[in-house]
Amino acid sequence: MDVAIGPTTDASYSQKLTQENMAPYYEARKIAWNPQMFMESWRVFDNYEIRHERKRCGVIRLKADGETLFIRDLQIEPSKQRQGIGREAIAWAIAYAQTSGYAHLALRVFAENPAVSLYQALGFVETGRSRDAVLTLSLSLTATSE
């Protein structure tokens, strides 16, 4: 699959895609979109764009916390979802975290998000759940060898 991931500085695209993709989850929880909060996060996260067949189709945003690298955002354009691009982005994040020396890769996701099954299929396990049904999923990157 022709998926490439590299740094981005296009906060506008990322914010628009994130706001659109997250709208149903925010509406269900009566959460208002906060563009200022997004821009504050933009300055402290590592922001990457996802390209499929050389066309931009998503973003992945990372933030380190000790031995854990968090996927703070993974957004794929709706017309490109369910084509394996998200799986490729997760595989990239796993490889990035491993080569950077992190012990864990983690993310938070709304429990009803269909992507939960993808994360679990890739080995992520639930390590937390908030009252508003936000799951924390984690993948251990420390290999056991014999």
Tokens standing for residue 134: 């936000």
Is residue 131 very low, low, confident or very high in pLDDT (cuts 50, 70, 90)?
confident
What's phi and psi for 102, nearest 5 deg? -80, 145
Q: pLDDT tens digits, residue range 45-86?
A: 999 999 999 999 999 999 999 999 999 999 999 999 999 999
What is the CATH number for 89? 3.40.630.30
Q: pLDDT tens digits, residue range 95-104?
A: 999 999 999 9
Number of domains in the chain: 1
Question: Do the domain assignments include residue 57?
Answer: yes
Walk across the sheet containing 68-76 and list its strands.
3-7, 46-52, 55-65, 68-76, 104-110, 134-140, 125-129
Question: Do the domain assignments include residue 106?
Answer: yes
Question: Do the domain assignments include residue 127?
Answer: yes
Question: Do the domain assignments include residue 21?
Answer: yes
Q: What is the rounded distance in angstroms from the CA atom of residue 80 to the CA atom of residue 96?
A: 23
Question: Do the domain assignments include residue 146?
Answer: no
Domain range for residue 106? Answer: 3-140
**CA neighbours closer than 13 Å in the CB half-sphere of residue 72:** 16
Question: Do the domain assignments include residue 145?
Answer: no
Residue type, 68: T
Report strand pairing: 46-52 vs 125-129. unpaired
Is residue 143 very low, low, confident or very high in pLDDT (cuts 50, 70, 90)?
low
**pLDDT at residue number 144:** 46
Q: pLDDT tens digits, residue range 22-43?
A: 999 999 999 999 999 999 999 9
Q: Classify the C-alpha dihedral 15-42-129-5 as positive or negative.
A: positive
Question: Do the domain assignments include residue 22?
Answer: yes
Q: pLDDT tens digits, residue range 119-129?
A: 999 999 999 99
Question: Do the domain assignments include residue 75?
Answer: yes
Residue 51 vs residues 38, 42, 88, 91: alpha-carbon distances, Å: 22, 19, 11, 14
Per-residue pLDDT at 142 exceeds 90: no
